[in-house]
Chains A and B, each alone.
Chain A
Amino acid sequence: MAAISFPSEAFFRELKRLMGERGERFRALGYFDVIFGVHVTPDRPGAPESRFVLGFDVFDCIRADAVAAFGNDVDFVLEGQLAVWREMLENIKGRGAADIAHGINTLTHFGDALRVRYDDPDGHDKLYRFAESIQEFFNLAAHVETTFPGVERAGATARA
């Protein structure tokens, strides 16, 4: 399998495809009805940033798009520097699933590594209503050969 670069629309579309292949697992977790954004911010001034919208309906990922800006339909956005996302994805790849220090909830909890942005508290609460499904979605990265742009990891740490 050819490696896919992160961050990219192709990466999230590959996760979408993998989710379709593992339908039973996601069906067992129940309805998954949320639209959220992933905002990869630059590690240094002048570096590019990327935004993606991921949409889920019933048991499927129905949308994985790169966008220039987030619209009102997004329930919340997970925002963090490239280095944090890289560390999380490498952890998932190495372990088959995120370990206790690299889960989405852990990384977002105090906003130190990843931050949760939202306008509507109801949208924010969807991060919790579908917590396990969201984690399982990111855990699919264990099946993706991922490359990252050459960036330094200074200043980006997960929970000690």
Chain B
Amino acid sequence: MAYFAHKDFFSDTGLYELVQRVMSGELTLSWYQPGTEPARCRPASAARGLTYADCNVGSYGYDAIPEFVRGKNSMAARGSLLWGTLPDIGYTVNRKSDVWSANVVALYEEAKTRRWAPAVDIPWSALAGSARPPVLEAATAQVCTVLEEIALVAMEAPGRWVYLINQEFLEVKSFLCGQMLDEARHVEVFRKRALTGGQGLKRASVPVEQALRELLAADTYPRTSLGINVVLGGLQVALFRHLAAIADNDADRRIFTLSLQDAARSVAYGVGALRCHLAAQPHQAHALCDHLLETEHTIAGVLGSPELCEPLIILSGGGLEAEQRGRGAARLRQWLRQTVDELFARLRHAGLGSYPQESRLPACFAAALAA
């Protein structure tokens, strides 16, 4: 126990007297006239329901949150009357442009409606007794082993920050909860996929985990969001899209398509948050570029790991024969080019246009992609 009540209430005669009075009918009604804004929010769209956007009114709304949240360090609901001695809960993230994104409310609402449950939403029985060649199952199992590692870290990232973010940013915290659920779902589905194909899990990846650990260890929330949502999230989108596109059965197509939807939301938030951050704190662009330049090697760590690269070649080419591996390698080269181009496009669009110009990635890939 680290925090204790300021008194032993069982010895508090004042408390006994108050309770006696109230429970004999002498209500204080101290809360009855708080002076807060009356509100009667209504859904703008009956089909959509009552969204947080509908509740964005007056002092209750997220538009009213100032850039710097001062004097509000408890979990008291935004817009409620603060009175008495409220504790300092211990939030360390109290600046709006460090967390906010113009699309975060819409993305939270979207995440809730687009939920899915791996246990029942994937046709697992379609995989049972499948005549799929063992080598393809092995490759799928290896990819899923790595994807499970990535999902564990992607689940941990919002968890590391959500309790440090000021409660005024309720909608952002709610979105992070949605992210945790999305990634829990990915941990689940990739593990289940690896354990249904007859191969079991394969090998954890040293370069992937070293890369993930570094991305996770960013020391501010904006840097974490950049690394996890934009960079790692972008890799997840690219991977899931590719795996869905080359899937040779309905179950895998569905697994990767549904996972793709989740990952794309994280990317959308990350890009939006970056844009908002740079709009309010333009001087951070240089620091964030530097951060990207320092950490971009993690992209190579993930994509270049044999535990990911090799099974992707097998799956992309359809097998282990020389011709298949050659075709698979060619497709993977094309995919890598596209993935890096898309990452650069997102970052340029968000306001980090100088990064692509200084990045070491194009030079690194040039040799490999020149084939």
Contacts and interface: CB of A to CB of B under 8 A. Distances in A.
Interface stretch (B31-39, B130-138, B237-245, B294-302): B237-245
Given A30-B110, A31-B110, A125 B257 contact: no
B98 interface: no
Nearest to B272: A122
A122 B271 contact: yes
B261 A121 contact: no
Contacts of B345: 121
Nearest to B110: A31
B334 interface: yes
A105 B244 contact: yes
B144 to A, nearest CB: 18
Contact of B113 (A31, A122, A125): A31
A43 B160 CA distance: 54
Given A109-B241, A120-B349, A31 B48 contact: yes
A109 B48 contact: no
B112 to A, nearest CB: 8
A106 B245 CA distance: 4
Interface string A127-140: 01111100100000
A110 B237 contact: no
A129 B250 CA distance: 19
Interface in B85-135: 103, 106, 109-110, 112-115
A76 B159 CA distance: 33
Interface stretch (B212-220, B262-270, B304-312, B357-365): B262-270
Interface in A55-95: 58-60
Contacts of B115: 30
Nearest to A60: B47
Nearest to B247: A100
A159 B103 CA distance: 35
Interface residues of B, number: 43
A125 B345 CA distance: 12
A126 B103 CA distance: 12
B338 interface: yes
B86 to A, nearest CB: 36
Interface string B215-259: 000000000000000000000010011101111111001100110
Given A122-B271, A125-B267, A131-B257, A33 B241 contact: no
A120 B268 CA distance: 11
Contact of B263 (A29, A103, A109, A128): A128
20 contacts: A30-B110, A30-B112, A30-B113, A30-B115, A31-B109, A60-B47, A100-B250, A100-B253, A103-B253, A105-B245, A106-B246, A109-B245, A109-B246, A110-B245, A110-B335, A122-B272, A128-B241, A128-B261, A129-B264, A159-B246
Given A31-B113, A121-B342, 12 more contacts: A58-B47, A100-B253, A103-B244, A105-B244, A122-B103, A122-B349, A125-B268, A125-B271, A126-B264, A129-B265, A130-B261, A159-B246
Give the 9 A-B residue pairs with the shortest CB-CB distance, closest first. Answer: A30-B113, A30-B114, A128-B264, A109-B245, A129-B264, A106-B245, A58-B47, A31-B113, A121-B346
